[in-house]
Amino acid sequence: PALVQLVDLVKNYYMGTQTVHVLKGLNLSFDEGDFIALMGPSGSGKSTLLNILGCLDRPTSGRYYLAGMDVSQMDDDQLSEIRSSYLGFIFQSYNLLPQYTVVENIELPLLYQGVRLDERTRQHCIALAEMVGLGDRLDHRPLQLSGGQQQRVAIARSLVNNPHLILGDEPTGNLDTRTSIEIMQMLRELNRLGKTIIMVTHENDIAAWARRVVRLRDGRVESDTRNDSRTVVE
């Protein structure tokens, strides 16, 4: 079943008298449990699309259905609610707070949502840290960790609300090849466990880990292909 359905999705930016047409009527549907790489040259609309998928921005016209709900018509409060109950975010720059420990960084989304932190939420976050292999680093701060470890904290944080959909913005963009493979193995494992993943990347080696590759060019879908399972050499 489709977790995400985009119907004639258009995004324009208005700058003075100029209209910038960024997404020019996308029709795409992403199945629950799929793993999608979003590619395309700089300026093709990837970030704009990811922001809309992440309910951080709204389309100019067209529809975005997430788990059957028309999120393109929702107001800011409703979108914020959708972000915290359906979505997890991973960024190229990890976006961790330096003064917070590993476990506190994982707790952050709960804190932002006004969830009361207690022993139960603490144990939940510790379990997530253990899941990403950082059970012995709970009280470390980001700067005491390698880039790969920081991204693993970010992955644990993205899971804190048990999201349906994980959105990645160049999640391996700051990592060396070996560490990138480690992170992709982790994302693949999450996908095996049922998480739907959509990640922007400009690297073919990274896109090869996805099941499906959608290429944008100039605000339109240029190609949409399935990787066969032998593409990746682990």
Q: Which residues of this chain interact with ligand ADP, rule CB under 6 A?
A: 13, 15, 20, 22, 40, 42-48, 56, 83, 89, 91, 93, 95, 109, 169
Q: Which C-beta is closer to ligand ADP: that of 136 or that of 224?
A: 224
What is the nearest approach in angstroms of ligand ADP to the Cβ of residue 87?
A: 7
Q: Are 86 and 78 in contact, with CB atoms under 8 Å apart?
A: no
Query: Which residue carries 């992955």 as its tokens?
Result: 155
What is the nearest approach in angstroms of ligand ADP to the Cβ of residue 58?
A: 13
Three-state SS at 32: coil
What is the nearest approach in angstroms of ligand ADP to the Cβ of residue 163?
A: 10
What is the nearest approach in angstroms of ligand ADP to the Cβ of residue 67?
A: 17
Q: Which C-beta is closer to ligand ADP: that of 109 or that of 142?
A: 109
Q: Which C-beta is closer to ligand ADP: that of 22 or that of 199?
A: 22
Q: Which C-beta is closer to ligand ADP: that of 174 or that of 231?
A: 174
Burial 40-66 (b: 16+ CB within 10 A, else e): beeebbbbbbbebbbbeebbbebebbb
**Listed residue (216, 3, 30, 199) closest to 186, CA to CA:** 199
What is the nearest approach in angstroms of ligand ADP to the Cβ of residue 233?
A: 28
Query: Which residue carries 């409703």 as its tokens?
Result: 78
Three-state SS at 100: coil
Whole-number Å distance between alpha carbons of 23 and 28:
12
Q: Interhelix angle for 147-158 vs 177-192, to 10°?
A: 20
Q: Which C-beta is closer to ligand ADP: that of 47 or that of 232?
A: 47
